[in-house]
């Protein structure tokens, strides 16, 4: 059995039939990590010993006929989730030695299901980035071409799944940080509706935008993993008490008769021809499956990037104020008073991109500018959400590109922050609107780099969105393509 071909659904059948064991599968994944991570720089922290302990416990459950959906499945975690006893750095020097004393709710739920956690995955520092180049652990590389970025901020999660290091992974998405790396690495990534999945124990970037979601090889796996982590959590004040559907059971309902909207603002002049061709081909696939494709408008889309970089940076300024060298994390102090210690700690602990966003956010919140920037951005956000709700009165789903281009070269946009920010122009609006969205593979460019198709669903409409994604996946074979390392 090739690690590259493992899926949650397929592996679950093999394990429950006892044609393989959780220990054997975990060993294969660890061997794969050993053989490829020098090229990819995917893992920040590994826990091989505890992974084998978890796998052994999973085999006991399997032998006793007490297996859950994820029992014995090797998974990776973006290094933003609190993991009891396992270092959690959030890609930053300031948390280089931070070891949480508790598990995030989503990690608890994975452990309850019997999943095998094999390690923590590389990411942009504090989830601030679109290329995984701002990580204190160094650049993570795209497995399709190691000279290119994997996307960010959940770059390590997407790379680990695409490269066969783990069967699936969790990431977080604040402005596209699951969908964009999934698209660039040729895997499936889903951002749930805000409030669908608990954020308790997730290190915060922008609290009104952050959401936890799965990165997998197939849509079916995505449905299984989402169902495992979704649901109300009293520890998270933003968690919504909403029933979690049986996502896998309804996948095969298809898209015949569904209305899928094509927002005109997403098919812009700057769209790479290869991306446009791949998305146009996907539209024809859906038409052939019996869906009705309908032009729609989201008129405030042009304001989404500016709106996002006011709201997200303002919330980051507030959330990251806690990293001051006092209670946890790295402390730098070469003398002087308390203010000197704050300055030295934050200057040495934060990277350039995090500092840039803290300064932008602090400015937006400062006296005399709050109304002009942050408050106005919140009003624009309301207009963007209303655009989506109005569109969903006409259609069941929206279809767009994930990113304007395939993965760009490492270093290509590091000196031009604005161009880097524009990489998320198609993903940011769904976060501002608080609705669900996902990326599925839909083609390759001339250089052999993957292209992603974005589906955007109604609030708490993950079930219908997954149905549409599964229908496309069954009609194509893009999801079966794997990089060669």
Which residues are tagged catalytic? Answer: 78, 153, 177
478 contacts: CB under 8 Å, gap ≥ 6: 186, 440, 441, 442, 443, 450
Contacts of 147 (CB under 8 A, 6+ apart): 141, 409, 410
C-alpha closest to that of 126 among 41, 215, 204, 45? 204
Closest CA to 298 of 438, 193, 374, 398: 398
The H or E element spanning position 221 is: helix 219-229
Structure tokens at 472: 């496309």
Q: Which residues of 366-393 are buried (b: 16+ CB within 10 A; e: fewer)?
A: eeeeeeebbeebeebbeebbebbeebbe
- Whether residue 209 contacts residue 311, with contact meaning beta carbons closer than 8 Å, is answered with yes
**Contacting residues for 264 by C-beta, under 8 A, at least 6 apart:** 295, 296, 297
Evaluate whether 457 touches 435 at the Cβ level (below 8 Å). Answer: yes
Structure tokens at 453: 């198709």
DSSP state of 201: T
How far apart CA 184 and CA 439 sit, in angstroms, is 10
The 8-class DSSP code of residue 33 comes to H
- List Cα–Cα distances, 50 to 26, 118, 306, 324, in angstroms: 11, 8, 44, 32
Sort strands 116-121 and 43-46 into parallel, antiparallel or unpaired. Answer: antiparallel
CA distance 407 to 109: 33
140 strand-pairing partners: none
Q: Look up tokens 């669903």; give the residue.
A: 457
Are 92 and 184 in contact, with CB atoms under 8 Å apart? no
Paired with 189 in beta bridges are 215, 439
Q: Which residues contact 179 (CB under 8 A, 6 or more apart)?
A: 173, 189, 190, 191, 402, 427, 437, 438, 439, 452, 454
- Whether the link from the prior residue into 416 is cis, omega within 30° of 0, is no
Cβ atoms of 71 and 114 within 8 Å: the answer is yes
């Amino acid at each position: 059995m090739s690690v590259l071909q493992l899926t949650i659904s397929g592996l679950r059948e093999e394990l429950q039939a006892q044609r393989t064991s959780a220990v054997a599968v975990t060993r294969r994944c660890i061997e794969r990590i050993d053989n490829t991570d020098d090229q990819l720089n995917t893992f920040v922290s590994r826990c091989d010993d505890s992974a084998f302990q978890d796998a052994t416990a999973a085999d006991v459950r399997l032998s006793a006929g007490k297996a859950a959906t994820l029992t014995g499945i090797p998974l990776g975690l973006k290094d933003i989730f609190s993991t009891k006893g396992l270092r959690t750095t959030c890609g930053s020097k300031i948390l280089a030695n931070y070891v949480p004393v508790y598990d995030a709710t989503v990690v608890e739920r994975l452990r309850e299901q019997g999943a095998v956690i094999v390690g923590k995955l590389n990411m942009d520092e504090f989830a601030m980035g679109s290329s995984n180049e701002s990580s204190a652990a160094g650049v993570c590389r795209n497995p399709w071409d190691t000279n290119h970025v994997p996307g960010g901020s959940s770059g390590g999660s997407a790379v680990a799944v695409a490269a066969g290091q783990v069967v699936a992974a969790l990431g977080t998405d604040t402005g596209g940080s699951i969908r964009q790396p999934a698209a660039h690495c040729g895997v499936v990534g889903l951002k749930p509706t805000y409030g669908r999945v608990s954020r308790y124990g997730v290190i915060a970037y922008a609290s009104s935008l952050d959401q936890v979601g799965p990165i997998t090889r197939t849509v079916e796996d995505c449905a299984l993993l989402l169902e495992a982590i979704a649901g109300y959590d009293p520890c998270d004040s933003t968690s919504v008490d909403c029933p979690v559907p049986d996502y896998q059971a309804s996948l095969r309902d298809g898209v015949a008769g569904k209305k899928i909207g094509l927002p005109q603002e997403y098919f812009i002049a700057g769209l790479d021809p290869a991306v446009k061709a791949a998305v146009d081909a996907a539209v024809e696939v859906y038409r052939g499956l019996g869906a009705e494709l309908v032009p729609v408008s989201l008129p405030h889309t042009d304001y989404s990037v500016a709106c996002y970089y006011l709201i997200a940076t303002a919330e980051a300024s507030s959330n990251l104020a806690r990293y001051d060298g006092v209670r946890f994390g790295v402390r730098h102090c070469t003398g002087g008073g308390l203010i000197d210690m704050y300055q030295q700690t934050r200057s040495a602990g934060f990277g350039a991109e995090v500092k840039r966003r803290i300064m932008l956010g602090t400015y937006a919140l400062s006296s005399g500018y709050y109304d002009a920037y942050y408050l106005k951005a919140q009003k624009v956000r309301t207009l963007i959400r209303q655009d989506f709700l109005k569109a969903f009165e006409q259609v069941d789903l929206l279809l767009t590109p994930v990113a304007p281009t395939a993965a760009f070269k490492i270093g290509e946009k590091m000196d031009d922050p604005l161009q880097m920010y524009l990489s998320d122009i198609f993903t940011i609006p769904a976060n501002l609107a608080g609705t669900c969205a996902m990326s599925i593979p839909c083609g390759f460019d001339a250089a052999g780099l993957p292209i992603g198709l974005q589906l955007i669903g109604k609030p708490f409409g993950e079930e219908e969105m997954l149905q549409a994604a599964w229908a496309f996946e069954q009609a194509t074979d893009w999801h079966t393509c794997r990089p060669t390392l």
